[in-house]
């Protein structure tokens, strides 16, 4: 059953016939006002068709229009074939790619850990420390000077504690 608006539009367009037309016109509260509105609507339709007629397409626009129509007709013809396909669309991250990506990441991590970030062996004591340890404190310059050395192998730290030294001779200056 059509709604009033559908019957009204069909009546304005002149598409109601027979029993439907008679029933619809009988349901109108004021048939005279409705007829005037129908006439106004037809005048408006004629006026709009005159003023807003289809513009002539340029060659380029006509070519694009033909292409769009061809694409639409092709997509309608191929749509039933695509609807038969029931499998889900594939994403880029398939299980196989995830596995390969994970394995490659672990390999890169292993290379970085074992070869690039490997600790370099310590070169031993510096020559500066060796020169200071081998130096003798001159009792004339600093009579109360003492040198103490503390080493820790696990932290690779050597602390040289010098007390009472007034000056260090210039030949032992840092290089």
3-class DSSP state for residue 13?
helix
Tokens of 57: 């397409």
Q: What is the tens place of the pLDDT at every residue in 90-132?
A: 777 888 899 999 999 999 999 888 887 777 666 665 555 555 5
pLDDT of residue 106: 95
What is the C-alpha to C-alpha distance for residues 163 and 148, in angstroms, rounded to an integer? 8
Which of 134-167 are b and which e, b meaning 16 or more Cβ less than 10 Å from the residue's Cβ?
eeebeeeebeeeeeeeeeeeeeeeeeeeeeeeee
Query: Could you tell me the CA-to-CA distances from 67 to 49, 75, 76, 79 in Å, in that order?
Result: 27, 12, 14, 18
Confidence of residue 175 (pLDDT cuts 50, 70, 90): very low
Tokens of 129: 């420390």
Q: Percent of the chain at pLDDT above 90?
A: 7
pLDDT of residue 114: 84
Chain mean pLDDT for the chain: 76
Under a CB-based contact definition with an 8 Å cutoff, are residues 109 and 102 in contact?
Answer: no
Q: What is the tens place of the pLDDT at every residue in 50-105?
A: 888 776 666 667 777 788 888 888 887 765 545 555 566 677 788 889 999 999 99
Alpha helices in 112-160 (DSSP H): 127-134
Q: Percent of the chain at pLDDT above 70?
A: 64
């Amino acid at each position: 059953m059509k709604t009033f608006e559908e019957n009204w539009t069909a009546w304005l367009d002149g598409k109601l016939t027979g029993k439907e037309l008679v029933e619809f016109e009988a349901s109108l509260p004021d048939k005279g006002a409705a007829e005037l509105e129908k006439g106004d609507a037809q005048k408006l339709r004629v006026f709009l068709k005159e003023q807003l007629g289809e513009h002539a397409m340029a060659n380029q626009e006509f070519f694009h229009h033909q292409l769009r129509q061809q694409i639409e007709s092709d997509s309608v013809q191929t749509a039933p074939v695509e609807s038969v396909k029931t499998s889900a669309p594939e994403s880029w991250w398939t299980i196989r790619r995830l596995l390969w990506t994970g394995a490659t990441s672990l390999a890169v991590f292993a290379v970085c850990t074992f070869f690039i970030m490997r600790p370099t062996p310590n070169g031993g004591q510096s020559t500066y420390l060796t020169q200071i340890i081998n130096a003798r404190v001159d009792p004339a310059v600093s009579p109360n000077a003492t040198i103490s050395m503390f080493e820790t192998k696990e932290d690779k730290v050597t602390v040289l504690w010098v007390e009472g030294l007034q000056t260090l001779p210039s030949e032992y200056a840092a290089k």
